[in-house]
Homo-oligomer: A and B are copies of this chain.
Amino acid sequence: MGKTRLEAFSDGVIAIIITIMVLELKVPEGATLQALQPIAPVFFSYLLSFIFIGIYWNNHHHLMHLVKHISAGIMWMNLNLLFWLSLVPFATAWLGQNHFQPFPVALYAVLLDLCGVAYTFLQVAIEKCHKDETRLTDVMKQQRGKGIASLLLYTASIPFAYVNTLISGLLFITVAIMWFIPDKKIEKLVSNEH
């Protein structure tokens, strides 16, 4: 079915996005621990983005799991989401190489906001042609709470980047932790189907 290929294609793109970021970890010249030190911020920005892309893959997985049919709108909105996600490696590299300076941190937050909006658009496109799929709409309602909280925290981290980038960083980590907490309701909704 169409769904299989949409999932496979998204998996491919997300797998590449999550992996090419590691190419930014340029091999240092020396062979000592000191030689590794300048890479530390690049490493942490990679870790952060790996987590965020991982969260998106996770949510995409739960969302698509219950989708029954694919419309042109779903296909375009999925590509739209993949486009914004594909910019994460660039924003991550900029963040890491500039040691978390205000503007790159703010831009990173803006990009995460845009990814979140694109995900919402995808949900809307799915809703349009799955009005009677109560389990799917329940999963989406469930995701919405964390989704809105994430958008608010990302948006808050934009001005905070100019106060202290550490606060923005803490807000990012808060979002990540929030998504780590397993959502029993979604798991039940997804597994009930079997």
Name A residues whose Cβ lies closer than 8 Å to a Cβ of B.
1-2, 5-9, 11-20, 22-25, 27-28, 30-33, 36, 47, 50, 54, 57-58, 61, 64-65, 69, 71-73, 75-76, 79, 82-83, 86-87, 89-90, 93-94, 97-98, 101-104, 107, 180, 182-183, 187, 190-191, 194
With A8-B11, A11-B12, A61-B2 already in contact, the answer to whether A50 and B17 are too (CB < 8 A) is no
A11 contacts B9, C-beta separation under 8 Å? yes
A72 contacts B15, C-beta separation under 8 Å? no
With A12-B16, A27-B93 already in contact, the answer to whether A22 and B72 are too (CB < 8 A) is no
A65 and B25 CA atoms in complex are apart in Å by 33
A86 contacts B18, C-beta separation under 8 Å? yes
A104 contacts B31, C-beta separation under 8 Å? yes
With both chains docked as a complex, state the minimum distance between the C-beta of A14 and any C-beta of chain B, in angstroms: 7
Could you say which residues of chain B place their CB within 8 Å of the CB of A65?
2, 5
A75 and B183 CA atoms in complex are apart in Å by 13
Known A20-B23, A23-B89; 8 more pairs at CB < 8 Å: A7-B8, A8-B8, A12-B16, A15-B15, A27-B97, A31-B98, A47-B83, A71-B182
B8 contacts A13, C-beta separation under 8 Å? no
B54 contacts A187, C-beta separation under 8 Å? no
Sampled A-B contacts (22; CB under 8 Å): A2-B61, A5-B61, A5-B65, A6-B61, A7-B8, A9-B14, A12-B16, A13-B15, A18-B86, A23-B89, A24-B27, A25-B87, A25-B90, A27-B97, A31-B94, A31-B98, A31-B101, A31-B103, A50-B83, A61-B75, A69-B194, A71-B182
Considering the complex, give the chain B residue whose CB is closest to the CB of A12.
B15
B20 contacts A17, C-beta separation under 8 Å? no
A16 contacts B16, C-beta separation under 8 Å? yes
A89 contacts B54, C-beta separation under 8 Å? no
